[in-house]
A = this chain, B = another copy of it.
Amino acid sequence: MEPGDAARLGPGRAARALPPRLLLLPLLPLLLGRGLRAAAAASSGAAAEDSSAMEELATEKEAEESHRQDSVSLLTFILLLTLTILTIWLFKHRRVRFLHETGLAMIYGLIVGVILRYGTPATSGHDKSLSCTQEDRAFSTLLVNVSGKFFEYTLKGEISPGKINSVEQNDMLRKVTFDPEVFFNILLPPIIFHAGYSLKKRHFFRNLGSILAYAFLGTAVSCFIIGNLMYGVVKLMKIVGQLSDKFYYTDCLFFGAIISATDPVTVLAIFNELHADVDLYALLFGESVLNDAVAIVLSSSIVAYQPAGLNTHAFDAAAFFKSVGIFLGIFSGSFTMGAVTGVVTALVTKFTKLHCFPLLETALFFLMSWSTFLLAEACGFTGVVAVLFCGITQAHYTYNNLSVESRSRTKQLFEVLHFLAENFIFSYMGLALFTFQKHVFSPVFIIGAFVAIFLGRAAHIYPLSFFLNLGRRHKIGWNFQHMMMFSGLRGAMAFALAIRDTASYARQMMFTTTLLIVFFTVWIIGGGTTPMLSWLNIRVGVDPDQDPPPNNDSFQVLQGDGPDSARGNRTKQESAWLFRLWYSFDHNYLKPILTHSGPPLTTTLPAWCGLLARCLTSPQVYDNQEPLREEDSDFILTEGDLTLTYGDSTVTANGSSGSHTASTSLEGSRRTKSSSEEVLDRALGTGDQPVSSRGTRLVFPLEDNA
């Protein structure tokens, strides 16, 4: 109890330290309420000789009442979701596409929010409060001696002195307000895991370089541009006298980070429904999935930026590099955690015969994926980011080891969880617009933010696409760029990041603005997707497994169209080199170790690890040289496609004269190939036509695995 280690904050800053409102997790009082009730009931049953039965009864009644209210508030959300489901069924049934289920969930949330805000009486809370004003340290646990009995209390948070009365004002509004960490620890993980697990792998990996560029560089660019523009807006507001409290440059950058997480959920749903161009889908989806992760880590890094010394809001190189270090550390740590859990799951499912018992397999899969989150949190990394990479690893390796039943089980399980969580968040957003009691509506800031995100998105998409096109074989056309520009919606992640901390004035203004941006983009942009698609002449009704038509743009780049030609080739060479390295490593070592597919390790590993190779290679590989399944064939098909487009020749139809493995039976209707050598050989012109003569050598240099 030394005052030395106390968390002493200046009284003037009380409002910023912790969320001043009592943010309740509805599930929790549900638990505690019942506990109190049962205990009270039990004690009153046994406490015959006590005269205070009436008082106990009062406590019991109060606890029961509180529990009932919690149930009602949770029930409200469930009914909201039920209503959303039924309405969205009607929309789907009638093929109405202008409003997505998330937009609908927000509307219903809004309506219920209005009813709760204006329709329920502002009852004073059942909880009375007690002030004891003698200590100067806030502990997380408090023991209170009440006439000989000791009661234990836990810290909920700090309250600003002015809010003490308003906290108790409306019970119903309080009950429907969640602890913001619910979003991060309960609702986001299934959404993010599902995104990782359902990445359309083939097209995702084909566009991996561009996706990474958009997600990392693009998000950083967008964050800094939005941050700086908003700082200008804030300066302007100060001059005009519209700003009533502090708003630092780091706050502006933080806003840039949270609002840079795009979530084109409605656009992608329409893409999926209309079977729009798969490459554009992969670019948009991949970018939005990865930039969620980038935005989380970026915002933590910005929060961690604390310059030393007196001038604490000037630029400090040391603090800056510390922030960059934190960014890299958290990101790579979370990535590693996710990948490691995925790999462990893959190994377990490979080396046990768990696939005979789909229930056990599914349960294991679920537990391992959940443990990623906890492991990352326990190690101080970011659980949500780890879960994303775990999802990708599970899809890439573990999925191939699962039994057919478990595949559909796991997919469906996470699909349902994702659906419920996503619609829950969006209906909560609608509700929050009216039930959240500390909104700071600043028209200047809001208009500035809309302009800033527009400019930020433009400054991110067009220049990056230009540079990417220099190195890409399939150029990202103007219509694709416009569509990506248009699809910069904001969604669940921006909301979750914004609501996480609403203690200060600046954060409250950010939260309100984020909410409005999400509403606007989801409704207006979501509704405009179908017209936009046809206006931009983007192909719809594409079979996802079909190849894109030969794109003339690629020749343009190949044959060199200006001074950029040499540089373009270098970029291409580099990305191809990186890609090839990873691909051959994955195909020759990782896939054979972690799954039942790929070439036997005995052929790919050096001779001196023969024993190890035999242990790790699964018997299936020897038995049938198992053809890769459709799901496995992402890399190979990708390269096949590239070859086809590149050389402008029909290599795939030529058969495989240079094939090492007996794979004639595989040249059927399904375009699957069994080993990398085959594809590489073809690409290298061992087929009928010397494809390599037209520059494919840059893409597939000869592999020397004897």
* Residues of A within 8 A of B (CB-CB), count: 160
Contact of A156 with B155 at beta-carbon distance under 8 Å, contacts A32-B181, A135-B146, A185-B30 already known: no
Instruction: Find out whether the CB atom of B158 lies under 8 angstroms from the CB atom of A151.
Output: yes
A236-268: contact bitstring with B at CB < 8 Å (1 yes, 0 no)? 000000000010101100000000000000000
**Binding stretch for chain B, among A78-86, A204-212, A466-474, A524-532:** A78-86
Chain B residues near A419 (CB, 8 Å)? 359, 363
Cβ < 8 Å to B, chain A residues 451-474: none
Q: Contacts A13-B50, A25-B28, A47-B13 known; A367 to B133 CB distance under 8 Å? A: no
What's the minimum C-beta distance from A687 to chain B, rounded to whole angstroms? 43
Residues of B within 8 A of A368 (CB): 82
Do A155 and B155 touch (CB < 8 A)? no
Contacts of A581 in B (CB 8 A): none
B150 touches A159 (CB 8 A): yes
Question: How far is A129 from B152 in the complex, measured between Cα atoms in Å?
Answer: 9
Choose one: B9, B41, B140; the contact of A303 (CB below 8 Å). B41
Q: Given that A32-B181, A82-B371 are known contacts, is A136 also in contact with B142, CB under 8 Å in the complex? A: no
A164 to B409, CA, bound (A): 48
Q: Mark A108-142, 1 if CB is under 8 A from B, else 0.
A: 00000000000000000111111111111111111
> Which residues of A416-446 have CB atoms within 8 Å of chain B's CB atoms?
416, 419-420
Q: A7-B56, A378-B72, A504-B42 are in contact. Are A185 and B416 (CB under 8 A)?
A: no
Nearest CB on B from A514, distance (A): 15
**A64 nearest in chain B by CB position:** B380
* Contact between chains at B56 and A43 (CB < 8 Å): no
Q: How far, in angstroms, from A136 to B128 measured CA to CA in the complex?
A: 13
A377 within 8 A of B: yes
A356 an interface residue at 8 Å Cβ cutoff?
A: yes
Q: Indicate if the CB atoms of B34 and A181 lie closer than 8 Å.
A: yes
Among A42, A59, A304, max chain B CB count under 10 A is at: A42
Interface stretch of the complex, out of A16-24, A616-624, A637-645: A16-24
| A7/B413 in contact, CB under 8 A | no
Known: A75-B375, A153-B154. A11 touches B504 (CB 8 A): no
CA distance in complex: A248, B28 (Å): 33
- Distance in Å: Cβ of A327 to nearest Cβ of chain B: 14
CB-defined contacts of A158 to chain B, threshold 8 Å = 149-152
Interchain CB contact (< 8 A) of A132 among B14, B75, B145 = B145
Nearest CB in chain B to that of A501: its residue: B42
Per-residue B-contact encoding for A151-181, CB less than 8 Å = 1, 0 else: 1111111111100100100000000000111
Q: How far is the CA of A16 from the CA of B56 in the complex (A)?
A: 13
Q: Nearest chain B CB to A74's CB is how many angstroms away?
A: 5
Question: With a CB–CB cut-off of 8 A, which chain B residues contact A606?
Answer: none
Question: Quick one: CB contact mask for A66-95 with B, threshold 8 Å, 1 for yes?
Answer: 111001101100110110011011101100
A147 touches B13 (CB 8 A): no
Q: Give CA–CA (A142, B348) in the complex, Å.
A: 49
Q: Give chain B nearest CB distance to A184 CB in angstroms.
A: 7
| Contact, CB under 8 Å: A154 / B151 | no
Q: Interface with B: A305-313, A328-336, A677-685, which one? A: A305-313
- Contact indicator B9/A67 (Cβ below 8 Å): no
A377 and B30: CB pair below 8 A? yes
**In the bound complex, how far is the Cα of B261 from the Cα of A606, in angstroms?**
62
The yes or no answer to A44 lying at the interface (CB within 8 A) is: yes
Instruction: Chain B residues near A155: list those with CB within 8 A.
Output: 36, 151-153
Whether A43 contacts B17 by the Cβ 8 Å rule is: yes
Query: Does chain B have a CB within 8 A of A500?
Result: yes
In the complex, how many angstroms separate the beta carbon of A506 from the nearest chain B beta carbon?
A: 8
Q: Mark A487-507, 1 if CB is under 8 A from B, else 0.
A: 000000000000011011011
* A6 part of interface (Cβ distance < 8 Å): yes
In the complex, A58 has a CB within 8 A of chain B: yes
A179 touches B32 (CB 8 A): yes
| With contact pairs A28-B28, A78-B370 given, residues A181 and B130 touching in the complex (Cβ less than 8 Å) | no
Q: Is A447 an interface residue (CB 8 A)?
A: no
**Quick one: closest B residue to A144, CB to CB?**
B132
CB-CB nearest in chain B for A48: B312
A371-B79 CB under 8 A given contacts A16-B47, A179-B35: yes
Separation of A55 and B8 alpha carbons in the complex (Å): 7
Contact A152 B159 (CB under 8 A): yes
- The answer, yes or no, to whether A585 is at the interface (CB within 8 Å) is no
User: Which residues does chain B contribute within 8 Å of A312, judged by CB atoms?
Assistant: 48-49
> Are B353 and A152 neighbours in the complex by a CB distance under 8 Å?
no
Let me know if A516 is at the binding interface, CB within 8 A.
no
- Contact for A47 among B9, B72, B416, CB less than 8 A: B9
Which residue from chain B places its CB closest to the CB of A137 in the assembled complex?
B146
Bitwise, A90-104 to B at CB < 8 A (1) or not (0) is 101100000000000
The one of B348, B356, B409, B507 in contact with A416, judged by C-beta atoms closer than 8 angstroms, is B409
Query: Given contacts A181-B34, A380-B68, is CB(A149)–CB(B352) below 8 Å?
Result: no
Contact of A68 among B45, B164, B378 (CB under 8 A): B378
The answer to whether the Cβ of A148 comes within 8 Å of any Cβ in the partner chain is yes
A362: Cβ under 8 A from any B Cβ: yes
Most buried by B among A44, A142, A180, A380: A142
Contacting pair B157 A156 (CB below 8 A): no
User: Cβ of B46 and Cβ of A246 under 8 Å apart?
Assistant: yes
Residue A542, interface by CB 8 Å: no
Answer whether residue A385 sits at the interface, using C-beta atoms and an 8 A cutoff: no
- For residue A213, CB closer than 8 A to chain B, the reply is no
For this complex, 12 residue pairs linking A to B, each with C-beta atoms less than 8 Å apart, are: A6-B55, A10-B47, A39-B157, A46-B504, A49-B312, A89-B353, A89-B357, A127-B139, A129-B139, A137-B146, A138-B144, A151-B156
Pairs of residues from A and B, 8 with the lowest C-beta to C-beta distance, nearest first: A48-B312, A132-B132, A153-B153, A11-B148, A127-B141, A7-B59, A71-B378, A31-B181
Task: List 15 additional contacts besides A22-B141, A45-B306, A86-B364; criterion CB under 8 Å.
Answer: A9-B47, A9-B50, A9-B56, A34-B181, A71-B377, A86-B354, A127-B140, A128-B137, A132-B135, A135-B146, A136-B146, A142-B153, A152-B167, A409-B412, A413-B413
